[in-house]
Chain A
Amino acid sequence: MKAVIAIAHNTFRESIRDRLLYAILFFGLLLMLATIILGSISLEQDVKVIKDLGLAGIFIINFLIILSVGTNLVSKEIDRKSIYTVLTKPIERSTFIIGKFFGLAATLFVTTAIMSTVFVAVLLVKHAGLSPLIFASLVFTYIELLFLVAIALMFSSFTAPVASALYTLAFFLIGHSMTSLTRFGEQAGPFVRGTITAGTHLLPNLEKFNIKNQVVYEVALSGPQVLWTVVYAATYITVLIIIATNILKRQEF
């Protein structure tokens, strides 16, 4: 446990001392402020536009952090050999993976919190009213980010950063196309339909975390919806971490 915390803390500390993080975050804060201007251009619609763009902006900025930092999590340590000093200590390789996951999760928690604060401030300035759904949506966004961290971490344990970034992006795109994929499958022949059905059950369905429409149209969340989403994410993340651990266990340096 101590080792997991140490690795997570170290990962967090390394990432927040990286200038790249600040560049991305700065861009994100600009984006938040830009929503005010974009909101005012669209007259009546401004609150809706601010909510839409703000939530999307928070997600995109953190996703960029995952694509740049997350896809490096393991491969950078292998490249630079810093992993040598860690794995030769009396710890399991799973400890390393779990620590990495929580380390980036902590970084994203901080960046999400900073951006959310600005977002909420913008809403307050615009007298937009803060429904609990806004906060629910931020939580869901964070859960989806954790999901993507686990995916990036898994790829990072066996491929180079650029490839992991592309694969993670592919997972993200597929994960948000589940509805259209299913619809496409319904019209196709039995073989394609079977493949798609299997695929949609196996691949992560990231649409589950997207409640932006519910936020904008003020449709309340149900208890079971929240519970199932959390269980779904936790299960999937656990499986991804187990896969990443097994990949790392077979690695030689």
Chain B
Amino acid sequence: MQIALSIRNLSKEYTNFGGSHRVVSNLTLSVPRGEVFGFLGPNGAGKTTTIKMIVGLAFPTRGTIEIFGEPSNTRTVRARVGFMSENPYFYSYLTAQEFMLFSASLLNLSSIIAHERTASLLNMVGLSGAADQQIRTFSKGMNQRLGFAQALLGDPEIVFLDEPLDGLDPLGRVDFKRMIQALKKEGKTIFFNSHILSDVQELCDSIGIIHKGKLVESGPLTRILKGRESLEEHFIRVVGAKK
């Protein structure tokens, strides 16, 4: 079993006027290739901060992050990674299609492949009809869909999605779950976080729960739930007890 993501002793401290405070604390975690991993935790637990460190937007205070056995902050690794941020925002004066083609150039895709993938991904996320519409006219859910399409543009082997279900309508969520399952079938690794635990339970092979920067639990979902409770019940029991 190959490891797609390996995080070891990861810590992040932010220093401000009041001194330093630790947002992620000694986090150790690994995700096997081909798995769907759910990264859970209450608001402010440190999920976004962890993802930002993985994709190189923030720098760890301590610890290491490896993707497919290589340090995560190199260009070669970034070429194999897809990322969608929390509340994604894109250039408002570009159309969806222009934005996808722009992203494709950053991925160094050839023009033919860029156009092909743009068309098929926009179609997949249900934005074909809005391809020539400027992004500033997009609704929240449309932005979210574009963010997802953009994350898959480079045909990444591993994808990090920060709250991908946020702002999607019920049909959108069903679509999204279907797309995640399709990606899993292609052998891709998916790491995402969400507060919609019923969806997480449906999708994930494994989960990790982070609370106040510390990993409180991680492992295969079946082992964690033991078939006795729903993920939501479990989450409330585990995190609620720590409050």
Contacts and interface: CB of A to CB of B under 8 A. Distances in A.
Nearest to B90: A82
B89 A81 contact: yes
A204 to B, nearest CB: 31
Which of B55, B58, B93, B105 has the largest number of chain A CB atoms within 10 A?
A: B105
Given A85-B150, A92-B75, A10 B94 contact: yes
Given A2-B105, A6-B105, A14 B58 contact: no
A85 B85 contact: yes
Interface string A1-33: 011011101100110011000000000000000
B106 A89 contact: yes
B79 interface: yes
Contacts of A234: none
B103 A85 contact: yes
Contacts, number: 72
A3 B93 contact: no
Contact of B94 (A14, A80, A89, A90): A14
A6 B87 contact: no
Contacts of A86: 106
B138 interface: no
Contacts of B108: 2-3, 90
Interface string A82-113: 10111111111000000000000000000000
A253 interface: yes
Interface string B61-94: 0000000000000011011010101011111011
A103 to B, nearest CB: 12
Interface residues of A, number: 25
Contacts of B56: 87-88
Contact of A88 (B57, B91, B102): B57
Contacts of A44: none
B106 to A, nearest CB: 4
B78 to A, nearest CB: 4
Interface string B210-223: 00000000000000
Contacts of A81: 85, 87-89
B102 to A, nearest CB: 5
B235 interface: no
B79 A6 contact: no
Contacts of B154: 89-90
Contacts of A252: 52, 57-59
B45 interface: no
A7 B89 CA distance: 16
A14 B194 CA distance: 33
14 contacts: A3-B105, A3-B108, A5-B105, A6-B106, A10-B91, A10-B94, A85-B83, A87-B57, A88-B55, A88-B83, A89-B78, A89-B103, A90-B78, A90-B108
Given A9-B102, A84-B83, 15 more contacts: A3-B106, A5-B105, A81-B85, A82-B91, A84-B85, A85-B85, A86-B106, A87-B56, A88-B78, A88-B81, A89-B107, A90-B75, A90-B78, A91-B106, A252-B58
Interface of A: 2-3, 5-7, 9-10, 13-14, 17-18, 80-82, 84-92, 252-253
Interface of B: 52, 55-59, 75-76, 78-79, 81, 83, 85, 87-91, 93-94, 98, 102-103, 105-108, 150, 154
